[in-house]
Structure 1
Amino acid sequence: MMRSEVIEAGKLVNLWNEWGLQILVIASFGLQVFLLVFGGVRRHSNSTALTFFLWSAYLLADSTAIYTLGHLSVDSMSDEHQLVAFWAPFLLLHLGGPDNITAYALEDNALWLRHLQTLAVQVLGAAYVIYEYIASRGALLFLASLSMFFAGLLKYGERIWALKCGNISSIRSSISIRKIKTDPYQLLTLGTSEEDLLLGAHSQFDICKGVFADIIMLPNPLVRSQPKPRSVISYLGEDLYKLVEMELSLMYDFLYTKAAVIHTWYGFCIHFISLFGTATTFLLFQLSISNSGNRYSRVDVAISYVLLVGALVLEIISVCRAVLSTWTCSLLHRRGRGWEWSLHIVTSLGQRVHPASRRLWSGSIGQYNLFHLCTRNTNEIGSRLATKLGLEDWWNKMHFSGTFPHANSSLSIQDIKKLVLQALRSKEQALQHQDTDLNSRGSFILKRMEAYKDFARWSVNIDFDESILVWHIATEVFIRKSKARHAKELLEATEALRGITYISPPANN
């Protein structure tokens, strides 16, 4: 019995030694297809299973390509499998990744320098493989390899540049308040269709980026002092939520995809050069195989065609997505005169896929109970074990975070939206002066509860982000100490609002 198991294990080892690289290359290509199809699923879904598979594919995609390229650079190849070296440039292309996912978390953007170092090592490895095994195999195959090599280099560099642009510190350093020309009152000139709202979201996107970079940009005082026929809130009404949803979707693009790079003049150049290089590689490879006879393994030739056709199809999809993107529409719209025909063509083609509807919110809010976290029992066995294993952050996230609305919730997102919009409308005139509103942080409720004394006034005279945390904890304490009949409903509302009613107080302040 033991001997038969050893024989079977030996067969598996021989199979891996013979076809391991082929399996890895196909796996690398399959991961690219998976990421292209499901890379943007987090925008609309919070499914744990789907998120896990996406996270696994994101990590495996890089490690598989790097591992395979490393083996190509050190393994000796038989004459029959010399074509395997031709796959090295494709692995660079795979390391560049699809356009719809460059980072899985913000920490990935912060590590862009590490990715740059990896690029240097992998490019040298691919160049060595081409020089060692391809250069002497004929001019056509060598030129095909060079063409794909430069296409892969551009795509890999594009990804790293996108990671750098999505880094919060890079966003902060790129924003200059004096250069910001956005005016929220421009929204009054737009229509209320989803496409018009999307253009409005693009026009105010610098303000959204500033919020994520801890920079609060107020409208120009000269613009703000001019009389307005009506406020933005009055004009948009509940469409204001759609506008915010679209801005957050654009911010998702900026942080986690290549949007910051591909929708620039050099980004479009990279796409078309990469597409041209891939098509050229396909033609040169076809000519090379036609002249080589039966020199190479049929399996290797078939895999090469799969990689070529797959790369060409994926590149065409990427170019179409980039050209028909709402980012392109916004770019052409800002160009103004002379670009109307291009804008009309892109808009007409883009409307067939309803780009605005794909940017709407999934309808759930992530929650993190800071009060429970600060008052947790640190002597609990599970908490102590997680701390010992270095998993304290994961443990806290599992126990003190969640989503709203949950299964037992009697409140809906629409209820919260109506409540917040009612509070905003009640202070419509004051919101024309944003600086006044930002300094109004819950003083109205303190006055209503006759608690606006020296011991409580400090809570409205602190930094904005700190004020949100203070009011969040204060609300949790108040509700849990409350003996009102509707304490349960108030507690549920607290889970949804997390202090948002104090950020947008009513008029009597």
Structure 2
Amino acid sequence: MRNLMETTQKMAMAPATDGIGQLLKTAKGKLAMIELLVIFTAFLLLFLVAFGSCRRRCSGGVFRLVIFTAYTLSTYVLTYALGLMQEAPFRNELFPVWAVFLMIILGSADSISAYSLEDNEQWKSYNWQIMIKLIWLLFLIDWYFRDTSNTGFGTPYLLVVLTLKADERARALMAASRQSLERYTKVVADYMSVEHESGEVDPVRMRGYTYLVRGEEERPVNTFVRAKQFIKRCLGKEEGALARHHRTPLDNVDELITIEKVWMCEGTLLSSEGDPHKKLKDKCLSFALFKLLRLRYAGYSLPQEAHKKTWNLIRHGLLSKEDGYKRAFRVVEDELTFLFDFFYTKYSIIFQPGRLLFKLLEFIYVTLSIWSTTSILTYYKRHDNNYQLGTMPNGLSIEVVVTSVMIISFIMVELMQFFFVGFSEWAKVIWICKYVQKKSWQENVWIERIIRAICRVKLMRPWEQKLHQYSFLESCSYKPSRLLNNKMMAVYIDQTRDGQRQSTPIKLPEEVKQAVFHTLKANYSAKLENGQASLRMNNESKKLSWACRLETQTQVIIVWHIATSFCEHQLPLGRSDSPATRRSFLVATSLSKYVAYLVAFAPWLLPDHPYVVEYVFDRAIIEARDFFLNCKRMEDWVKAMKENSSGLSARGETVINQGARLGNQLANDINNKDMIWRILADFWAEMVLYVAPSDNAKAHAEHLTRGGEFVTHLWALLYHAGIERGPPTKPCNALERRNSF
């Protein structure tokens, strides 16, 4: 009886498991799988187009994982779907249409051309993959339409759209690669190497600042010039200077749009009445600075005199007013937006001179392809097909519904992309430059209204505008789950180390920006110091400077962070505290936890070698657990720090002892609470500037896809100003950092 029951259960379960497998082997099963993949890929495209650029203002790990999954799956789903179409034991006249639509998806998303910088370096691989798939697609179309079927009418239009979109993405990947950067930014580097010799400058009215905005971009050389160069090469008469004839000559000043020309424009749109806060002019300034920032990625350096000229613009131009830090920060935000778009989207190619005509041509062919595909559906539903999956209650074929969904998705994608492109920051710069270049536009009220309306539209914030936070004392006892954080999983995912628990990010306070930019403008010394200049300014250098002369800068950061956390609990804010004290408290605690976050989660942005930073942090976590062995509350930790800080020397101490000793010095030796928080606020404002000039440009570019970092904005500003940090103290046998791209 028992054997009979087991046999019956197996027989009942067998159809449930084997039935799906048998169904997929049938013609209708394979057709159903292909249609599901087509619909799934269409929604992947919609998602990438709508949220591709949102990475620059979202640091959530889940969101980045979803974007990565959609970006990666689009290629694999395409390959698998094409394989199913090829192996299908039947012919379906809509297969070539679906195949072309799937191929178009690979290059359709203007808002995300690359997920990482490594994708840009593999542009040749992408081109060959597209070429191979395109050849296979042509064979598929020829096989299906060899009998001159009516459904082949719309395929040529789709192939043209496919070619245009694939070419755009291939060129965007190539332009953002290191090789192309070195080649095509050389003309800007040569121009800027002598631009500072233009004479007297006025950073308020931008006189003398002939930074390039538009005009130096590569343009195609006409047939006559190519023939002339060929003849000269054959005769051996070509001069070495002609090697740059494929670029626009920069000696023709009339074709160049510079910052000086934008500020000198007499049109109402850019006047003090039409642009009182200089937001339109600053768009062009951000674009010009973005081109200078690309030189850093291409490995070109500028003379120190050129950096001094830019520092003069920042200090006496952008920061000339009391609230000038807002304008300076806005300029850098837009500059990094252009940098993000250059590396990770197709905008740099779309807005090249002459490429907008291709966008118009693409729009025309999209319209024709949609019209022709609609006629295909009309023809298709009039004919019986032995390999149709079925019909809807209204009598429509499921294949027709699937194709209709793809067409609707494609229309939505194109409409969204034309909207995003039309109101992008790149489009705004193009409109303003055209306005500066054409006198007739400056006399046309309607054109001015159109440009002003376009520039007022802000599609999204330039970055997350948050300060990440980390509290060493509150997180030192944290232990991650060993289910995912172990040696086996280390091969597949990033590991969370002990003590690596991030606090809730906060919105970047205006007080923090104001304090940091005030410190930058003050410029205590020729080179940035790790807080010692602020101590000298507050007459506390003799007592506290020992904490700035430790073995590594990472130890300095952790010691001052622990001391700041100690003061935060020993000297909390009260109702009687002055506004100045509250401001200093906010600046000190926010920046202290932010720089500590960089130690725990972004060591490649700090002065020390990343491995040194991780080693010092891991060792500090172990020392903290020994120091706070029986402590369970913050009150117990503070009490332990008070009891174990006296009678200790600077040598042989752990960073916990040193942090406790510094915290007690601040709390006990300085009687004025307002002065304590002022010292800490000035120290951290100087420290965040000190860590900003990182030589790892690649790390900053990668952080643009993770919501952005406050330190990246400071890094870009300090690069333009040519401000560097003093030589840091290095630990013994420290690894030398490479100037990586």
Shorter-chain TM-score range: 0.7 to 0.9
Contact 1:85–1:134 (CA<8 Å) still a contact in 2? Answer: no
Equivalent position SS for 1:40: helix
* Matched letter for residue 494 of structure 2: W
The superposition leaves residues 325-381 of structure 1 with CA deviations (integer Å, 9 ceiling, x where unpaired) of 2212212333433373696465245256x22x7244322245899x99xxx9xxx99
User: Could you tell me how far apart the structure 1 residues matched to 2:566 and 2:423 are?
Assistant: 55
Distance change >3 Å, CA 251–CA 136, structure 1 → 2: same
User: Could you tell me how far apart the structure 1 residues matched to 2:421 and 2:556 are?
Assistant: 47
| Shift in Å, 1:396 | 5.0
| Shift in Å, 1:137 | 4.4
User: Could you tell me how far apart the structure 1 residues matched to 2:282 and 2:10 are?
Assistant: 70
* Matched letter for residue 383 of structure 2: N
The answer for the alignment partner of 2:97 in structure 1 is 86
Contact 1:155–1:270 (CA<8 Å) still a contact in 2? Answer: no
Q: 2:65 aligns with which of 52, 61, 66?
A: 52
The answer for the alignment partner of 1:433 in structure 2 is none
* Matched letter for residue 179 of structure 1: Y
| 2:591 is the alignment partner of 1:493 | yes
The answer for the alignment partner of 2:145 in structure 1 is 134
Q: Select between 411-420 and 118-127 the one with higher mean Cα deviation.
A: 411-420
Instruction: Calculate the TM-score normalised by the size of structure 2.
Output: 0.55
User: Could you tell me how far apart the structure 2 residues matched to 1:237 and 1:399 are?
Assistant: 35
| Shift in Å, 1:49 | 3.0
User: Could you tell me how far apart the structure 1 residues matched to 2:554 and 2:493 are?
Assistant: 21
Greater fraction of residues in helix: 1
Equivalent position SS for 2:319: helix
Q: Select between 216-225 and 494-503 the one with higher mean Cα deviation.
A: 216-225
Aligned pairs (5 A) from 1:68-467:
68-78=81-91, 81-138=92-149, 140-176=150-186, 177-180=189-192, 182=211, 191-192=276-277, 194-213=279-298, 215=300, 217=302, 221=306, 224=309, 230-235=316-321, 236-291=324-379, 293-296=382-385, 297=388, 298-335=397-434, 336-338=436-438, 340=441, 344=448, 347-351=451-455, 354-355=457-458, 358-365=460-467, 386-391=486-491, 394-395=494-495, 400=500, 402=502, 405=505, 413-427=509-523, 439-442=527-530, 444=533, 449=541
Distance change >3 Å, CA 401–CA 171, structure 1 → 2: farther
Contact 1:386–1:392 (CA<8 Å) still a contact in 2? Answer: no
| Shift in Å, 1:90 | 0.5
The answer for the alignment partner of 1:465 in structure 2 is none
Equivalent position SS for 2:109: coil
User: Could you tell me how far apart the structure 2 residues matched to 1:260 and 1:227 are?
Assistant: 29
* Matched letter for residue 400 of structure 2: V
Which one has the largest radius of gyration?
2
How many residues align? The count is 473
User: Could you tell me how far apart the structure 1 residues matched to 2:33 and 2:400 are?
Assistant: 16
Structure with bigger RCO (C-alpha 8 Å, 6+ apart): 2
Contact 1:110–1:163 (CA<8 Å) still a contact in 2? Answer: yes
Contact 1:275–1:316 (CA<8 Å) still a contact in 2? Answer: no
User: Could you tell me how far apart the structure 2 residues matched to 1:484 and 1:323 are?
Assistant: 52
Contact 1:148–1:281 (CA<8 Å) still a contact in 2? Answer: yes
User: Could you tell me how far apart the structure 2 residues matched to 1:173 and 1:115 are?
Assistant: 21
Q: 2:75 aligns with which of 62, 66, 72?
A: 62
| Shift in Å, 1:312 | 3.1
| Shift in Å, 1:155 | 0.9
The superposition leaves residues 95-125 of structure 1 with CA deviations (integer Å, 9 ceiling, x where unpaired) of 1131111222222222222222211221122
Distance change >3 Å, CA 387–CA 446, structure 1 → 2: farther
Contact 1:82–1:133 (CA<8 Å) still a contact in 2? Answer: yes
Contact 1:99–1:318 (CA<8 Å) still a contact in 2? Answer: yes
Instruction: Calculate the TM-score normalised by the size of structure 1.
Output: 0.77
Q: Which runs of 5+ in 2 are unaligned?
A: 1-8, 193-209, 213-257, 265-274, 389-396, 571-584, 599-686, 693-717, 727-741
Superposition RMSD in Å: 4.4
User: Could you tell me how far apart the structure 2 residues matched to 1:252 and 1:328 are?
Assistant: 15
The answer for the alignment partner of 1:9 in structure 2 is 17
Equivalent position SS for 1:394: coil
User: Could you tell me how far apart the structure 2 residues matched to 1:7 and 1:396 are?
Assistant: 45
User: Could you tell me how far apart the structure 2 residues matched to 1:124 and 1:397 are?
Assistant: 48
| Shift in Å, 1:172 | 4.2
User: Could you tell me how far apart the structure 2 residues matched to 1:403 and 1:174 are?
Assistant: 43
* Matched letter for residue 177 of structure 2: N
User: Could you tell me how far apart the structure 2 residues matched to 1:44 and 1:331 are?
Assistant: 24
